[in-house]
Structure 1
């Protein structure tokens, strides 16, 4: 009787290990699918081998890290420039009392990066031009049918740094290629 009890226990442990391994594989497959779905144009990657998909995901993450670093550096330079302009303006007003002491109006600046169907929009305005951010969102969503995936801002002194990420649904390339031009024209028309 001992040998059959031992075989049953081994058989149960073997089934338990198989079930655990099956659940682990299902969970990993689900996590892989979720990771791949976060990549731009993920539908075209479904036919690729899993190692290739993981390589593409790793490369995309590295590319995003480089972009984040570039944006941090750009923001640091813009803040430094803004601070320098303010100090320079204050210094020149002290040198001559006939000079207008008000800080000159900063022209709004916009930068647009396209990554597939995703647009990354970076807008720097003065506090008096912060309405532009809402207007850009309105144009993107109502007129162009874009889906906003991230929107935010930060204020440093009198400069407002806006960031906006949106997904532009598939439309003809001509209409989509006019989006950056249209937004830049809008920003440059405001003084």
Structure 2
């Protein structure tokens, strides 16, 4: 004859198991969603452990935070440039085997066109072993903004960032 308490214990045990099972399913779905946000679609997702995924997400977030901080600084410099406090600003960011050059120039201080200046930036980068991936410029509020993205021709050699900085600053 079953005791009244054993039935309630087994129901409570099943409820705990169901709650735990649902929690694990939810966590698995959350990690799959995180993986879809962090890991590019062209990479093989097989064999990515949860620890690796969390490490990758952590470094991704830190990288994005650094980029936001850099953009905030660039915004401040752009505002100063608009106010006429600074005529020319150039920033070179080394991101591993890639290089980003951003310049802001008061349009009134340009000796020649923006396109010529952009061409000079590209030539310097090519001469120093950087392959230009993309380049653009635009004028806004009296400020010409140039952006050039490049990568090293040879990843083993890399790009001589300091030398490029020196040569680019000579342009200004």
TM-score range with shorter-chain normalisation?
0.5 to 0.7
Secondary structure of residue in 2 paired with 1:167: strand
Q: Does 1:146 align with 2:131?
A: yes
Shift of 1:117: 0.9
Matches within 5 A, 1:1-191: 35=40, 49-85=48-84, 106=87, 108-127=88-107, 128=110, 130=114, 131-141=116-126, 143-148=128-133, 150-168=134-152, 169-172=154-157, 176=159, 178=160, 180-191=161-172
Shift of 1:143: 5.0
Deviations 1:42-94 (A, max 9, x none): xxxx9x843244224322431342133223312321232123337xxxxxxxx
Contact 1:121 1:164 in 2 (8 A): yes
Contact 1:153 1:161 in 2 (8 A): yes
Structure 2: stretches of 5+ with no match in the other structure: 1-32
Q: How many residues align?
A: 134
Q: CA 1:145–1:111 in structure 2 vs 1: closer, same or farther (change >3 Å)? A: closer
Counterpart for residue 89 of structure 1: none
Q: CA RMSD in A?
A: 3.8
Structure 1: stretches of 5+ with no match in the other structure: 1-27, 39-45, 87-104
Shift of 1:137: 1.7
Q: Relative contact order (alpha carbons < 8 A, sep ≥ 6): 1 or 2 greater?
A: 2
Structure 2 length-normalised TM: 0.57
Secondary structure of residue in 2 paired with 1:182: helix
- Of Structure 1 and Structure 2, the greater helix share is in 1
